[in-house]
Amino acid sequence: MSTGTAGTEEVRRLNDELERQVRELDAFAYSVSHDLRAPLRSLEGFSQILIEEHSGRLDAEGQRYLERIQANVERMAEMIDALLDLSRATRSQLRRERTDLTALAREVASELVASDPARGVRFEIAEGLVAPGDPHLIRLVLQNLLGNAFKFTARRVAAVIAVGVEDQDGVDVFVVSDNGAGFEMGHAERMFDPFQRLHATGEFEGTGVGLAIVRRIVTRHGGRITADGSPGEGAAIRFSLAPGPSGWTIR
């Protein structure tokens, strides 16, 4: 066996081992997250009983403590759901078919508008956005990206969220952009790590898992993802759902 062949085999072996470890870690995260639901539901139930049946025995400070317990229980439940979604993004079977991203984006946008009708957000979704991929997982990508854009434009009087596509060396690169809070480019890479938040919880709610889910799904499709932004000037997330030429990077 030549040195080159031996090196290739070793790389393949290491990749297989890494994939196995990732699967085991995801299975562990899924199991732990699932098991945490029962005690969390118990905590939520007992605190609700205290509020409904015994709040009269508590002073204002005691009631505030109970409200904070419930708020943190709710946040923990959201984090558990986010962990399960992150695990499903890796564990679910990938199936490729022609997927209409325009239709999916419009569905998600309609849901966001219905969730807060008072918001004056303009969605600009390009026609003819199509890619081969898993429709369920791609919808999850758009839910997270459009959901983030909707959240981070909350303080804009004339908020605009756009979904489009760019051709880069023959590769379709989809773009979700907004004119919201934006971010410092120095933090762009860690945005895609689980539970990383660039804004305080008091500013914008969330678990910090959405972009990690998006990156896993994009990577499973063989694509890539990057983020561009500027504080107060908005953000743009670019992603592909197919690999590009050798050395290709999203600009």
Regarding whether 183 and 66 lie in a shared domain, the answer is no
User: What does the alpha-carbon distance between residue 10 and residue 47 come to, in Å, rounded to a whole number?
Assistant: 55
pLDDT band at residue 251 using 50, 70 and 90 as cut-offs: very low
Centre a 10 Å sphere on the Cβ of residue 238 and count the other Cβ atoms it contains. 19
Q: Which of 91, 112, 133 lies at the terminal end of a domain, its last residue?
A: 91
Task: Work out how many domains the chain is built from and give that number.
Answer: 2
Regarding whether 232 and 194 lie in a shared domain, the answer is yes
User: What does the alpha-carbon distance between residue 60 and residue 68 come to, in Å, rounded to a whole number?
Assistant: 12
Regarding whether 38 and 135 lie in a shared domain, the answer is no
Regarding whether 123 and 47 lie in a shared domain, the answer is no
- Tens-place pLDDT, residues 109-132: 999 999 888 888 999 999 999 999
Q: Which of 91, 111, 138 lies at the terminal end of a domain, its last residue?
A: 91
User: What does the alpha-carbon distance between residue 5 and residue 18 come to, in Å, rounded to a whole number?
Assistant: 20
User: What does the alpha-carbon distance between residue 12 and residue 180 come to, in Å, rounded to a whole number?
Assistant: 43
- Tens-place pLDDT, residues 51-101: 888 878 888 888 888 888 888 788 777 777 766 766 666 666 788 899 999
Q: Which of 59, 91, 123 lies at the terminal end of a domain, its last residue?
A: 91
Tell me which residue has tokens 């993004």.
89
pLDDT for the residue numbered 185: 65
Regarding whether 218 and 152 lie in a shared domain, the answer is yes
- Tens-place pLDDT, residues 105-114: 999 999 999 9
Regarding whether 142 and 74 lie in a shared domain, the answer is no
Regarding whether 192 and 120 lie in a shared domain, the answer is yes
pTM value is 0.67
User: Which residue range(s) make up the domain with 221?
Assistant: 97-239
Regarding whether 235 and 192 lie in a shared domain, the answer is yes
In a domain? residue 246: no
pLDDT for the residue numbered 131: 95
